[in-house]
A = this chain, B = another copy of it.
Amino acid sequence: MSVGVLGTVALDHVKTPSGIKKDMLGGSAAHFAMSARLFTDVHMVAVVGKDFPCKHLDFLKRKGIDLSSLKISSGKTFRWRGEYKKGDLNTAVTLATELGVLQTYVPELQKQQQNLSNIFLANFDPDLQLQLFKYLKSPRLIGLDSMNLWITHKRKSLRRLMKMVHLFVANDGEARALSGENNLIKAAKCLRTMGPRMIVIKKGEHGALFYSDQVMFSFPAYPVDKVVDPTGAGDTFAGGLMGYLSKANKLDDKTLRKALLYASTVASFNVEGFGMGRTASLTMREVEERMKGFVRFFALT
């Protein structure tokens, strides 16, 4: 089955120890889509401004992403400018954001997409994430991502939203901030009580943890020693996770473990290039090939 994603489409200006790149296609929905497309059909729900380069639109279409619910509004595309400093490539320092068309955007889902049963609410204002529910006729699997900004300033909306979703994805810092628990196992258990029956905690270079009432498991991250730009790694991870789960159309233990492996594998490619430099050209063959080595990395024998 296909998957829909609500999130941002941005123009990113990123500085990392490997260099500087301007006006790159970015945003949570775009990174998610570039990953999930490897597994299934992707429908993007987002907004850009009139200044959004045609080449980016063409690129997304060429990658097979359905843009029926991508709105082109008067105004400027959302811009993010950030930096990763040498020695701490896990932490993005936001230097500037220009919200542009995000300020007035209200998500809408085209009629033909309202039967989508797999939806990911990528990092976005929780009040806008809530808006999408009125369009969803038969949700089966709704995933949610958020960030510290919303955990701090829109906790009430976020907590309301958490009662409505099935899968919550957070990085370690977000999981700690939202749960108030430092120990990540305790944090996962606490997030579970907030609503979502599946919790995934991303730990960057340390891998990821899955928690549900039935099962808990964890894998290390695929070992990457050449991190160029981590922007979008979390969204790429989520794209692999939701993309594979949507394709498999199952949520049993084995499927969940495989989904987490795919998620980590695709994310490991993302960090090797600026923006979507690496994931845009990525093929399933490359993913499967890397996954073979990845599985050996934490095999018992």
CB within 8 Å of B: which residues of A? 86-89, 182-186, 189, 203, 205-207, 209, 216-220, 223-225, 227, 253-254, 257-258, 261, 295-301
Contacts and interface: CB of A to CB of B under 8 A. Distances in A.
A138 B46 CA distance: 68
A182 B87 contact: yes
A216 B225 contact: no
Nearest to A301: B254
A257 B298 CA distance: 9
A299 to B, nearest CB: 7
Contact of A258 (B217, B227, B300): B300
A223 B218 contact: yes
B298 A298 contact: yes
Q: Which 7 pairs between the two chains have the least Cβ-Cβ distance?
A: A206-B206, A185-B225, A218-B220, A87-B182, A254-B301, A185-B223, A186-B225
A254 B299 CA distance: 9
A261 B300 contact: yes
A54 to B, nearest CB: 38
A299 B257 contact: yes
A250 to B, nearest CB: 13
Contacts of A203: 206
A185 to B, nearest CB: 4
A209 B88 CA distance: 19
A274 to B, nearest CB: 17
A268 to B, nearest CB: 11
B257 A301 contact: yes
Contacts of A185: 223-225
A103 B203 CA distance: 42
> Which of A203, A205, A216, A227 has most B Cβ within 10 Å?
A205
A265 to B, nearest CB: 13
B224 A299 contact: no
B219 A257 contact: no
A178 to B, nearest CB: 15
Given A217-B299, A218-B223, 12 more contacts: A183-B225, A184-B205, A186-B225, A206-B206, A207-B220, A209-B220, A217-B297, A219-B220, A253-B301, A257-B301, A295-B300, A298-B298
Given A183-B205, A224-B185, A227-B183, A298 B89 contact: no
A227 B86 CA distance: 32
B183 A219 contact: no
A182 B89 contact: yes
Contacts of A298: 217-220, 298
A209 B225 CA distance: 13
Nearest to A90: B182
A189 B89 contact: no
B219 A189 contact: no
Nearest to A182: B87
Contacts of A207: 206-207, 220
